[in-house]
Amino acid sequence: MEKKSKGSDKKKALPIIEVQQALSDWYDLRFNEITGSVEGRKKDEDSFDVLNENNLFIQLLSNGYRISFSNLCALLNSEFVPKYNPFVDYFESLPQWTNEIPDYIEFFANHVEAIDQVQFNHHFRKMMVRTVACAINDMIFNKHAFILVGGEQNTGKSSFCRYLVPEALKNYYTESIPNDKDGLISLCENFIINLDELSTLSKFELNHLKSLFSKDRVRVRHPFARKSQTDPRRVSFVGSTNEDTFLTDTTGSVRWLCFEISSIKWVYTEVPIDFAWSQAYALYKSEFRYQLTADEIKANEDRNEQFQQNSTEYEYVQLYLKPGDPFDNDTFWTTTEIRHHIINKSERKADIKGNDKLGKALRKLGFQRVTKRVGDDKQPRHGYYVKYLEIE
């Protein structure tokens, strides 16, 4: 290349132009919007790998290109490198699904033998479409974890959950989520997180997971980044457990979509999961209603009752009391009076330290909270009508 005079503007711009041309001759480059990293492949290679800036810097110097390392990094993080979204790329690369093609989502759902097959199939379809929406639409996040419960040991629940991840997106799948900054980053850099065997998790861990389901954005500083950034939540959660009472949060379980199953037919592996994702993508683009309706949320709460661990307060109320009726002249007690009664009846073995959980247990067992004036009290009291249960 012809050298220009020392003071010309062309000379100042020439080194970057030469570096850009060299990089274009040597590599195909792309900026991965999911991981926030630059990927490259040599012209004679098939697969992309995360680009090592240090190796590239040495390669440039070895070939006579004079550029500072900071300028190289600035170039790689500029518009010179085209953006690439592996999730969007995957779904748009799939064969187009039309209504004439078989219902692949139904096919996979039917290979899981559920106690309530109709509801399982219905919500499995919605889960698939929600997962697509969460992965490619920055304004949408999947609030619910889809959980397979029960069945005999080695039923294949975990394997089925793993099979939901297409081969093209295996690098965006994990089965662990640490309770730290890396855990938050994984919400933005994965397609699916498989919560394998939920019964081994503590109450704190389960409640932490529930809080993650509600996140739509994550603000965190990525490794080697100079400042924090806000990324959309892209991951969806699936999971499994053999324990039929693993839910511990007494405040509600709306974020958990749990379905009891009996078995799984292994022959589902004869059909690539890509076909089901192609259908889910088509449904997403057709404005299919993938979010839960108010009625579905209520039905899910009712269904989850069978998977809920009862609190200590719940079990003691169930042991000593049942709902009363004012027309039967039953006793009216405040929550504090009920707590004292249970402690005395249990010979002070009942560990009921506060009234909040006790009140939730009472209402869950059908006790109606009412307001009543007692004696000469000027202020009304809040309490419940109760009947005593005699323990033999």
Is residue 249 within 8 A of residue 75, CB to CB? The reply is no
- Name the residue with higher pLDDT: 128 or 354: 128
The pLDDT tens digits of the residues spanning 267-282 come to 999 999 999 999 999 9
Q: Which of 263, 288, 307 is the last residue of a domain?
A: 307
Distance of CA 219 to CAs 188, 232, 338, Å? 10, 9, 46
Question: For 65-118, what is each residue's pLDDT tens digit?
Answer: 888 999 999 999 999 999 999 999 999 999 999 877 799 999 999 999 999 999
Within a domain: residue 2?
no
Tell me the residue range of the domain where 60 lies. Answer: 9-84
Same domain, yes or no: 92 and 241: yes
Same domain, 195 and 326: no
3-state helix vs strand vs coil in the chain, percent to 5: 45, 20, 40
277, 307, 337: which is the final residue of a domain?
307
Instruction: Count up the domains in the chain and report the number.
Output: 3
Q: What is the pLDDT of residue 6?
A: 46
Mark whether 336 and 255 lie in a shared domain: no
- Does the residue 3 lie in any domain? no
pLDDT attached to residue 355: 86
CATH number (domain holding residue 259): 3.40.50.300
CATH of the domain at 347: 1.10.10.10
The half-sphere exposure of 105 on its side-chain side, counting CA atoms within 13 A, is: 20
Q: Can you read off the two tokens belonging to residue 376?
A: 């000469």
d(CA 383, CA 336): 9
Q: What is the pLDDT of residues 187-226, one digit of tens each?
A: 999 999 999 878 778 778 888 888 888 888 888 776 556 6
Query: Could you tell me if residue 336 is inside a domain?
Result: yes
What residues contact residue 70 under an 8 Å CB cut-off, 6+ apart? Answer: none
Which residues does 160 contact at the CB level (< 8 Å), separation at least 6?
111, 112, 148, 264, 268
Residues 190 and 281 in one domain: yes
Q: What is the pLDDT of residues 302-349, one digit of tens each?
A: 898 888 877 788 888 989 999 999 888 899 999 999 999 998 888 877
Report whether 386 contacts 373 (CB < 8 A): no
My answer on whether 294 and 150 are in the same domain is yes
Whether 384 is covered by a domain: the verdict is: yes
Question: Model confidence over 217-258: pLDDT tens digits?
Answer: 888 776 556 667 788 999 999 999 988 888 877 666 889 999
Residues 317 and 292 placed together within one structural domain of the fold? no
271/212 same-domain check: yes
Identify whether residues 76 and 147 lie together within a single domain. Answer: no
Q: Which residues pair with 217 in a beta bridge?
A: 232
Q: Residue 4 domain-assigned?
A: no
- Check whether residue 211 and residue 223 sit in a common domain: yes
Q: Which of 238, 272, 307 is the last residue of a domain?
A: 307
pLDDT computed for residue 261 by the predictor: 95
The verdict on 106 and 198 lying in the same domain is yes
Q: Which residues of 140-165 are buried (b: 16+ CB within 10 A; e: fewer)?
A: bbbbbbbbbbbbeeebbbbebbbbbb
DSSP H helical segments within the chain, as ranges?
A: 9-26, 53-62, 69-76, 86-93, 104-110, 117-136, 157-163, 181-189, 203-213, 273-285, 294-304, 312-320, 335-345, 356-364
Residue 287 has pLDDT above 60, yes or no: yes
Q: Find out whether 163 and 240 touch, Cβ atoms under 8 Å.
A: no
Is residue 378 one of the residues assigned to a domain?
yes
Give the residue with greater pLDDT, 243 vs 167.
167
By DSSP bridging, strand 381-388 and strand 370-372 are antiparallel
Q: Is residue 78 part of a domain?
A: yes
Decide if 211 is inside a domain: yes
Whether residue 226 sits in one domain with residue 272: yes
Task: Write out pLDDT tens, residues 13-66.
Answer: 457 889 999 999 999 999 999 998 999 999 989 899 999 999 999 999 999 888
Q: How far apart are CA 279 and CA 185, in angstroms?
A: 29
- Are residues 159 and 294 located together in one domain of the fold? yes
